[in-house]
Amino acid sequence: NAGVTQTPKFRVLKTGQSMTLLCAQDMNHEYMYWYRQDPGMGLRLIHYSVGEGTTAKGEVPDGYNVSRLKKQNFLLGLESAAPSQTSVYFCASSYQGGYTFGSGTRLTVV
Partner 1 sequence: DAKTTQPPSMDCAEGRAANLPCNHSTISGNEYVYWYRQIHSQGPQYIIHGLKNNETNEMASLIITEDRKSSTLILPHATLRDTAVYYCIVIDGGSQGNLIFGKGTKLSVKP
Note whether 14 binds partner 1 by CB under 8 A: no
Stretch that binds partner 1, among 14-22, 62-70, 71-79, 89-97 (CB under 8 A): 89-97
DSSP string, the chain: ---EEEE-SEEEE-TT--EEEEEEESS--SEEEEEEE-TT--EEEEEEESSTT--EE-SS-TT-EEE-SSTTEEEEEESS--GGG-EEEEEEEEETTEEEE---EEEEE-
- On the CB side of 34, CA atoms within 13 Å amount to 31
Note whether 103 binds partner 1 by CB under 8 A: yes
Note whether 50 binds partner 1 by CB under 8 A: yes
Note whether 43 binds partner 1 by CB under 8 A: yes
Among 78, 102, 107, 109, binds partner 1 (CB under 8 A): 102
Among 70, 99, 108, 110, binds partner 1 (CB under 8 A): 99
CB of 95: closest distance to partner 1 in angstroms?
9
**R_g (Cα) of the chain, nearest Å:** 13
Note whether 64 binds partner 1 by CB under 8 A: no
**Residues contributing to the site for partner 1 (CB under 8 A):** 4, 30-31, 33, 35, 40-45, 48, 50, 58-59, 88, 90, 92, 94, 97-104, 106
